[in-house]
Structure 1
Amino acid sequence: MHTSFGLTLVVNHACNLRCSYCYTGEKIRRPLSPEIGRKAIDRAIRSVCREGTLELSFFGGEPLVEAELVLDLVHYARSIADRVDVRLALSMTTNGTIESSASWSVMTLPELELAISHDGLPGVHDGQRVTVDGQPSSLRVQNTMARLFDAGKEFRVVMVVQPSTVDSLPDGMEFLNALGVRRFDPSLNLWTTWNQTDGERLKSTIRRAADFWGERLPECSVSWFDEKAARATGIPMTQTARCGFGHGEIAVTPAGNLFPCERLVGADEPSNPMRLPGNVFDGDDFLAMTSLADMCSPECAPCHLKSLCSTKICRCSNYIRTGDVNRPDGLLCLLDQACYQETIRVLESRFLSSN
C-alpha cells in the first residue's frame, strides 16, 4: 500500500483556447464519464493505506470545460476518502478564462492547490495563448486572478518558457508580481527545439529570475529555486506521489486508458508507447503497477550535482526529451545545474549581507 498515491483524471480533451505550444493533442470533445472517474477514484483510494493521502488532480484540455463533473467527482472522492480514513489533496491547472459559476466553485474549493496559466507580459501571453477564434486571452486571465485575490484564494501562476519568449520571463514575473502574484512556476516547453544559443539565453534568464526571487524572499516563491534552496539548506520537503510514474501515480483518460503521467497522454492513441496495459475497469486497485528502477545514466556519473538532481525524479521530462525515461538531455541538465548554482549564489549573497 502507498502512503500517498497520485491520480490524475483527464476530464476532457476539449479546450476553449488554441495555445501555440500545446502538447495534449487534438481538441476534440471527449468527456470523462462519471463512471470512469469514480472507478478510477475507487482504485486509487484502495491503493492508499489508512491515514495516507490521495493526491487527486484534474487535467485536460481545459479541465473547467467539465467543471460540474469535477465538482461531482470531488464530492465522491471526499465521501469515499472520509469513510476509509484517507486524506484528500486536490490540484488543478486552468487557463483561467472560463467564468461559469461551476468553474468558480471549483477554483475556490478550500483544499484545492490551484494553478493559473499566464505567460507574463500581456503581449507575450497573447502571442501564444488565444481563443478558438484567435482573440487574446491575457485580460480575461488577469480578471480571474483579480477575483481570486479579492476572494482570498491562493494560487500559483504557471509560465511557459520557450526560445521565442525566454528573455521576457523576468519582466513577465515583474508584471504579474505588480498585480499581486506571489507564487511562480516557470515551465520549459520541452516539446520544441532549444539550440546552444537558446541555452545561453536561458542561463541568463535563470540568473535574472533568481535575482527577482532573492529580492522578494520570503514573500515570493519561484519553483525553479524553492526546491533547490530546501535541498541545499536541509529543510524537510513535503513528500508527494509525483513523480510516481505509473507506480505511485496514474493518469486516467476519458477512454479509461492508463498512463504513467498526464503529460504523456496526448490524443490517447492506441499506438502511444507510454500507454500502460489494461483499462481502469480491469482491477480493484493500482497496486500491481510496478515501479521503475532507480535512474542510472552513465552520462550522469561525473556530475557533482547528481545527488541533488531533479532529472532523476521527473521521468516524463526525460522521455519527452530523449525517448528514454532514465536519460535526461542537455537542456534538462542545463536547467537543473543553472537553477542550483543561482540558488546558492542568491542564498550566499543574502547570508553575507545579513552578517
Structure 2
Amino acid sequence: MVSIIEYVKSLDYYNLNKKLYYFERENKLFIYHIKTKKILLIEKNLEEKGYLVSTFIKDNNSIKLYKTSNLSIKDIKELLNNLDNYKANASINLENYMYHNKAYFFLTNACNLKCRYCYQESKPVKMNFSMSKKLIDMMIKNKRKTETDFQIRFFGGEPLLNYKLMKQIINYCSNDRFNENTTFNYYLSTNGLLLDSDKLSFMNDSNTKIKISVDGNREIFNYYRKSAKYKDVYCVLIKKLKEVFKCYPNELLTAGITNNYYNINFCENLKHAYEVGFRNFYVQFVCNNDFYEKRVPDILVEKYDEIINEYEKMLNFINIKMNLGQEIYVNLLDSFIKFLFAPLNSLCGCSAGIASCAYDDVGNVYFCQRFIGDEKYVIGNVEKGLNRQKIKTIRNYNVMDRCVNCPILNYCNGGCYFNNYKNSKILDNYLQYDCNIKIKLFEKLIYYTFKIAQKDIGFINNIYNKREFVE
C-alpha cells in the first residue's frame, strides 16, 4: 500500500493543482476527485497482485458499487488522468436558482417555551392570512416556468400558536386557483407540546411533514427547554409523543436534535430519540449569542477531538442499525449522499436566498429565516418583488478567497451565513477550527458511505431517493 500512497502524494494534487483530496484509514486509501466528485477506495489485493479499486457508478437514479481488481499503479494513474480530462459544465449560474420554490413562513415569534439557545431577537410579530395569500401568490408568480413543486415551511417561535393561519394557508393552496400541476408540500417545525388529535388529523390529510424537537434525555432536554407552565417539559412531550406515534405516519415525522458546543453528545441524543420511536433525524448546531460572546476559538480547540469522536460514534450507530436491517435516516449522512450523486452543476450546501427564502408578517422577503428582523438581509418584499442583485451580492460573500482551494467547497459552500455573521457581524468571517471539523467529518462520511454500501447498496439508494427532512 505504501507505493500507491507515495505515488498519489507525488502528484501533489492537493497542494498544487487542487484536484484531489486523500486520506488513509485501516490500511485503505480514499481519494476524492474534487472536479467530478468521484471517490476511489484503493485496497491492496491480498489474493492477487495489484490493487482492488472500488467506486460508485450512477445509472439514472440507481447507484451501484463497482469494483475492479488486480490494478497496477499504471492503471490507477490512467484512471486518475481520465477523471482529470473529464469535460463537464460544472459551473453554477446563480441566475438559474433565483426562483424560490421553498419558503419559510414566519407565523409568529411567540413561543410557549424559552430555550437557552434560541436565536430569535425580533419584536413580537404575527402573520395574518391576507399577507400570507399575497406571499403565496408572489412565490407562484416568480417561479421558474418548469417549476411545479413548492415547499411551504411553517416556523416561528412556535408556529402552532398561530395554527389557525397555518390551516388557512394549507386550505388556500389546496383549492383549484393554481395550475393543476402545481403541488405544495408542507413542513412544520414545532416543540410538539400543542399537537392534538384534531391538528394531527388535518396535517395528516395534507401530508404535512413534522419536525419535533427532541434534544436528548430528560436532564438535557429540561436544561435547554424551559417553560413557565411545566416544571418537567420532557415528560409532557413524551406523553404527547405517544399520542403522535399512534395516529401519525412515522415516515412524516422527524426528530430535531439541537446540539451546541456545550452539549455535543450527538450520538447519545440520537440514540435516545431513536428509543423514543423516531426513525428520521435532523441533527444540527444552533449557536446563540452567549456562545459567540465567549471564547469561541478556545471552545473549539478544547473540544475538537471530542466533537470528531461524536461524529464517528453517530455514524457508527447508523451503520449498526443498517446492518440489523433497522430503518434510520440522519440528515448529515443523507445530505452527503445526495450531494455525492447530484449532477455536477447542481447547487449543494446552503440554498439561502436563491432556492429558499423566508417571509415575515409585513411581507418582507429575507435571505434566510435566521435573519428575520435584520433589515440588511431583506432581499425584497411582496410589493416590489425580489432584489436579485442583492441576492447575488450576499451569496458571493460566503465563498471567500480562503474557500477557493478547499477540497470540500462544493459540499460546504462557505458554511452557514448566519454563524459567520454572528461570529463577527460580517458574512465572510469564519472559524478555522470549524472548517477543520467539517473536513474531518467529510472524511468520515466518505468512509461510512463505502462501509454501508459494501453491506447493502440498497440502503444508499433509499437515502438518495428519499424526500427532504424538515429543517
Q: Could you say which TM-score interval applies, normalised by the shorter chain?
A: 0.7 to 0.9
8 A contact 1:93–1:115 mirrored in 2? yes
Question: How big is the shift at 1:287?
Answer: 7.6
Counterpart of 1:224, as a letter, is L
| Pairwise CA distance, 1:346 | 2.1
Q: Is the 8 A contact 1:67 1:102 kept in 2?
A: no
Structure 2, unaligned stretches of length 5 or more?
1-95, 458-471
User: Matches of 2:202 and 2:420 in 1, distance apart?
Assistant: 32
Q: Contact 1:257/1:279 (CA < 8 Å) preserved in 2?
A: yes
What is the CA deviation profile of residues 131-170 of structure 1, one whole-angstrom value per residue up to 9, with x for unaligned ones? 134623222222333223212422111111112221x321
From the superposition, tell whether residues 27 and 174 of structure 1 become closer, same or farther in structure 2 (CA, over 3 Å).
farther
1:179-218 matches, within 5 Å, as 179-191=276-288, 192-193=291-292, 194=296, 195=299, 196-217=301-322
Aligned twin of 2:253: 155
> Could you say which residue in structure 1 is the equivalent of 2:12?
none
Task: Give matches, 1:296-335, under 5 Å.
Answer: 296-307=399-410, 309-312=411-414, 314-330=416-432, 332-335=434-437
- The structure, 1 or 2, with the larger RCO (C-alpha pairs under 8 Å, 6+ apart) is 1
The answer on 1:114 being equivalent to 2:210 is: yes
Query: Which residue in the other structure is 1:257 paired with?
Result: 364
- Give how far 1:3 is off: 6.4
| Cα offset, 1:246, TM superposition | 2.9
Aligned 1:53-202 pairs, distance under 5 A = 53-79=149-175, 82-83=178-179, 85-100=181-196, 103-105=199-201, 107-133=203-229, 135-153=231-249, 154-166=252-264, 168-191=265-288, 192-193=291-292, 194=296, 195=299, 196-202=301-307
Mark the CA change 1:106 to 1:290 in structure 2 (over 3 Å): closer, same or farther. Answer: farther
Rounded Cα–Cα distance in structure 2 between residues aligned with 1:316 and 1:164: 19
Q: Distance in 1 between matches of 2:454 and 2:130?
A: 58
Give the TM-score normalised by the residue count of structure 1: 0.84
Which residue of 328, 341, 346 maps to 1:220? 328
Higher strand share: 2
Tell me the CA shift for residue 103 of structure 1: 3.5
d(CA) in 2 for partners of 1:240 and 1:95? Answer: 30
8 A Cα contact 2:215 2:256, kept in partner: yes
Deviation digits for residues 288-333 of structure 1 (CA, Å, limit 9, x no counterpart) = 57542555322223422223x2243753444344544455433542
Q: CA 1:342/1:137 → structure 2, altered by over 3 Å: closer, same or farther?
A: same
Structure 1 unaligned segments of length 5 or more: list them: none
Compared with structure 1, are the counterparts of its residues 137 and 276 closer, same or farther at alpha carbon in structure 2 (3 Å cutoff)? same
Q: 1:331 to 1:181 in 2, by over 3 A?
A: farther
Amino acid at match of 2:329: S
Distance in 2 separating the partners of 1:344 and 1:176: 25
- Compared CA separation, residues 301 and 242, structure 1 to 2 (3 A): closer
Query: Is the partner of 1:111 in helix, strand or coil?
Result: coil
1:346 corresponds in structure 2 to 448
User: How many Å separate the matches in 2 of 1:55 and 1:253?
Assistant: 16
Q: How big is each residue's C-alpha offset from its partner over 1:197-221, in whole Å with a ceiling of 9 and x where there is no partner? A: 1333211211111111111237211
Return the offset for 1:9.
1.2
**Structure 1 residues 241 and 347, CA gap change in structure 2 (3 angstroms):** closer
CA displacement at 1:43 relative to structure 2 = 0.5
Taking structure 2 as the reference length, what is the TM-score of the superposition?
Answer: 0.65
Work out the CA distance in 1 between the residues paired with 2:304 and 2:408. 19
Find the residue that maps to 2:215 and give its secondary structure: coil
Amino acid at match of 1:163: Y
C-alpha change, 1:226 and 1:236, in structure 2 (3 Å) is: farther
Assess if the C-alpha contact under 8 Å between 1:5 and 1:47 holds in 2. no
Do 1:44 and 1:286's aligned partners in 2 also have CA atoms closer than 8 Å? no
User: Among 106, 110, 114, which residue is 1:14 paired with?
Assistant: 110
Deviations 1:225-265 (A, max 9, x none): 22223434x2679x899944334333121233331111111
Relative to 1, partners in 2 of residues 1:77 and 1:321: Cα closer, same or farther, differing over 3 Å?
farther
Q: CA RMSD in A?
A: 3.1
Identify the residue that residue 101 of structure 2 maps to in structure 1: 5
Partner of 1:37: 132
Query: Which residue of the partner structure matches residue 276 of structure 1?
Result: 378
Q: Which is higher, the Rg of structure 1 or of structure 2?
A: 2
Distance 1:301 1:37 in 2: 40
Across the two proteins, how many residue pairs are aligned to each other?
343
Whole-Å separation in 1 of the counterparts to 2:443 and 2:348:
27
Residue identity over aligned pairs, in percent, reads 17
